Chain A
Amino acid sequence: MIPDSAISFPPSPNANPALDDDQLLHVSLGPQHPSTHGVFRMNVVLDGETVVSLKPVFGYLHRNHEKIAEGSTYLSSMPFTDRLDYICPLTNNWAYAHAVEKLAGIEVPERAEYIRVITAELTRLINHTAFAGFFMGDMGAWGSALMYAFRERELILDLFEDLTGARMMSNFMRFGGCRNDLPDGWADRAKKYLATFPAFLDELEKFLIGNEILLARTQDIGALPAATLVNGGITGPMLRAAGVAYDLRKARPYGIYDRFKFRIPIGEKGDCYDRFMIRFLEMRESLAILNQALDQLPAGEYIHPKAKIRGFKAPAGEAYAAIEGPKGELGFHLISDGTFTPYRYRIRPPSFINLTLLEDMCLGLDLADVVLILGSVDIVLGEVDR
């Protein structure tokens, strides 16, 4: 529980006389800046090296996806969800399909649920390996770590290409199942690949964890109390690094996550180091889920036989449904008035809402730490700006 007095705001830049001081340095960090993970800008005010004010500026990648979706059919929005968080298209697909299934009350066959879990956990592996690489890049270790991470990502993307036909723009989930079944031998190839993954994790851990520079740069940087994070709407690895065991796969199980045995790793302090480590631990748990799912994979339908592809209509009503995306709670809020198009289509983007407390985390730290903290939030601008 958090008292009202603990909720405070850094003042608006328009009404902050402290920022008029001639001695302060105003820096526009971005939008084209290698460490900002896309077209993201931060207006930073510095006192020497120390951050006095930091205002994020959004919208460089805004295309009003929600408006486009409200003018097109339910199915037409599915490929656009790939482009939200383009590192993890399959979890975006799942979140949208899950919301529409809730809105229209559609059942999903068992095999389709298994395929969804497998693709979603592979996506989590992709996201977290890429995160490790980018985070090292933010720290100045541009090159080796990222290339190692991307080599593993490529191998998973090869699996995705065989399954969905595209490496990143998968457009794979349908309302009531998946677009196609696993190709012949796909599950065996995935198993074979996953057997090599722990060795890669070991190597990367050996390579990075315990590195003096990493420890010195990340420990005790950017930590906030857990209650503040919950109040700020932070979800996903960011929140769990601060010690709150809140993972939607356990907290409100969707799909078939209640069938698998896995743990929710939590951190202690919530600093950048914990956020980095939590992703490594989550990858180990994802591997556990993947191995169970691939072993249990049942035969059957990959899409509900009565699922409608052409001319899909949802009954009047509204639904909010969310899944645990690799970056946090990814939700869709849909309102239907009974026609072929959604009346309201809203995405709850974890990357965007996780930036709410960015300024609070950065105040009083050095400029170099800002880049690290932003890296530890793990944003993708396609999802932030939508």
Chain B
Amino acid sequence: MTPDVSAILTRLREALPDAMAAHRRNPGPSGQDSLLVAPESLVAVCRFLRDDPALAFDLLTNLTGVDWPDPAKAEAVAVPVEETAAPACGFLETVYHLYSTTRREGPLVLRCRTADRAENVAIPSVVAVYRSAELQEREVYDLFGIVFTGHPDLRRILMWDEFTDHPMRKDYVAPDDYEYEPTPHDEVLEKAKRHYPAAP
């Protein structure tokens, strides 16, 4: 059963008047509307959704990132219900899917946006509320480069430690030789010489 986002938002505003959250409509047939939460209110909102007995969203099922170099595309997928200022530049977004195991309701979709894609890419970690975010936030950090402040152990998880880029970003350029070898030889060495600049 998909939850009623506007009712949850009303309840949230009563309990947490300072929380900055807005209802976003999903234009597709799935009907899964979302709550756009400001980064500074994210942890408080999550804690309220988990602890409020009438909501009891105790399971954070899925946490992922989305890269939006073009903000208009993001607004087209999560359409503002109330009048809001359109974002000026591209940004990164995290999406959370919450379920209630006791009330059997979900998914409640939360989304949270960074200020831009280059410098201000921090979003508070929800690990203190939902432990299941631990590995998933590490994955989003690794693949999208969103920095989760307050995460106890934020390291790369899928890519190797020396890797520098974030491959799930839309502007990521894949290397032309996929067969990366730390100690290349033969043909791979020739390709590696062409691709990687000589070490100083």
> Residues of A with Cβ closer than 8 Å to B?
1-2, 4, 7, 9, 11-14, 58-59, 62, 64, 66-67, 102-105, 228, 230-235, 244, 246, 251-252, 314-322, 329, 331, 333, 335-337, 343-344, 346, 348, 352-353, 355-357, 385-386
In addition to A1-B50, A104-B29, A318-B30, 5 A-B residue pairs with Cβ atoms within 8 Å of each other are A12-B152, A228-B131, A233-B60, A316-B27, A331-B97
Is the pair B131, A356 in contact by a Cβ cutoff of 8 Å?
A: yes
| Chain B interface mostly | loop
Q: Which residue of A4, A12, A343, A346 contacts B153 across the interface (Cβ within 8 Å)?
A: A12
The answer to whether A4 and B129 touch (CB under 8 A), given A102-B30, A244-B101, A333-B62, is yes
Closest 5 CB pairs of A and B: A317-B28, A233-B132, A105-B29, A319-B30, A12-B153
- CB-nearest residue of chain B to A250: B104
Is the pair A9, B30 in contact by a Cβ cutoff of 8 Å?
A: no
6 inter-chain pairs at a CB distance below 8 angstroms, sorted by A residue, are A1-B50, A9-B152, A233-B131, A318-B109, A320-B30, A333-B64
Is the pair B1, A252 in contact by a Cβ cutoff of 8 Å?
A: yes
Is the pair B64, A346 in contact by a Cβ cutoff of 8 Å?
A: yes
- The proximity string for B residues 88-117 relative to A, scoring 1 for CB distances below 8 Å and 0 otherwise, is 000000010100010010110100000000
CB distance from B128 to the nearest CB of A (A): 6
- CB-nearest residue of chain B to A337: B73
Complex-state Cα separation, A252 to B105, whole angstroms = 8
Q: Which residue of B30, B131, B133 contacts A357 across the interface (Cβ within 8 Å)?
A: B131
Is the pair A233, B61 in contact by a Cβ cutoff of 8 Å?
A: yes
Is the pair B129, A232 in contact by a Cβ cutoff of 8 Å?
A: no
Complex-state Cα separation, A64 to B156, whole angstroms = 14
Q: Does B157 belong to the interface (CB within 8 Å)? A: yes
Is the pair B28, A319 in contact by a Cβ cutoff of 8 Å?
A: yes
Q: Which residues of A contact B134 (CB under 8 A)?
A: 9, 356
- The proximity string for B residues 127-164 relative to A, scoring 1 for CB distances below 8 Å and 0 otherwise, is 11111111110000001000000001101111110000
Is the pair B29, A103 in contact by a Cβ cutoff of 8 Å?
A: yes
Complex-state Cα separation, A327 to B172, whole angstroms = 33
Complex-state Cα separation, A346 to B67, whole angstroms = 12
Question: Interface stretch among B10-18, B51-59, B182-190?
Answer: B51-59
Could you count the A-B residue pairs with CB atoms below 8 Å apart for me: how many are there? 153
Is the pair B131, A232 in contact by a Cβ cutoff of 8 Å?
A: yes
Q: Does B168 belong to the interface (CB within 8 Å)? A: yes
Q: Which residues of B contact A59 (CB under 8 A)?
A: 156-160
Is the pair A2, B26 in contact by a Cβ cutoff of 8 Å?
A: no
- CB-nearest residue of chain B to A360: B131
Q: Which residues of A contact B107 (CB under 8 A)?
A: 320
CB distance from A49 to the nearest CB of B (A): 25
Q: Which residues of B contact A319 (CB under 8 A)?
A: 28, 30, 32
Is the pair B131, A231 in contact by a Cβ cutoff of 8 Å?
A: yes
Is the pair B135, A353 in contact by a Cβ cutoff of 8 Å?
A: yes
- CB-nearest residue of chain B to A3: B51
Complex-state Cα separation, A230 to B159, whole angstroms = 28
Complex-state Cα separation, A11 to B155, whole angstroms = 13
Complex-state Cα separation, A318 to B78, whole angstroms = 8
Is the pair B159, A62 in contact by a Cβ cutoff of 8 Å?
A: yes
Complex-state Cα separation, A12 to B134, whole angstroms = 12
Is the pair A337, B27 in contact by a Cβ cutoff of 8 Å?
A: no
Is the pair A4, B132 in contact by a Cβ cutoff of 8 Å?
A: no
Q: Which residues of B contact A231 (CB under 8 A)?
A: 58-59, 130-132
Is the pair A318, B61 in contact by a Cβ cutoff of 8 Å?
A: no
Q: Which residues of A contact B158 (CB under 8 A)?
A: 58-59, 62, 64, 385-386
CB distance from A38 to the nearest CB of B (A): 14
Q: Which residues of A contact B81 (CB under 8 A)?
A: none
Q: Which residues of A contact B191 (CB under 8 A)?
A: none
Is the pair A317, B29 in contact by a Cβ cutoff of 8 Å?
A: yes
Q: Which residues of A contact B160 (CB under 8 A)?
A: 59
Complex-state Cα separation, A320 to B60, whole angstroms = 13
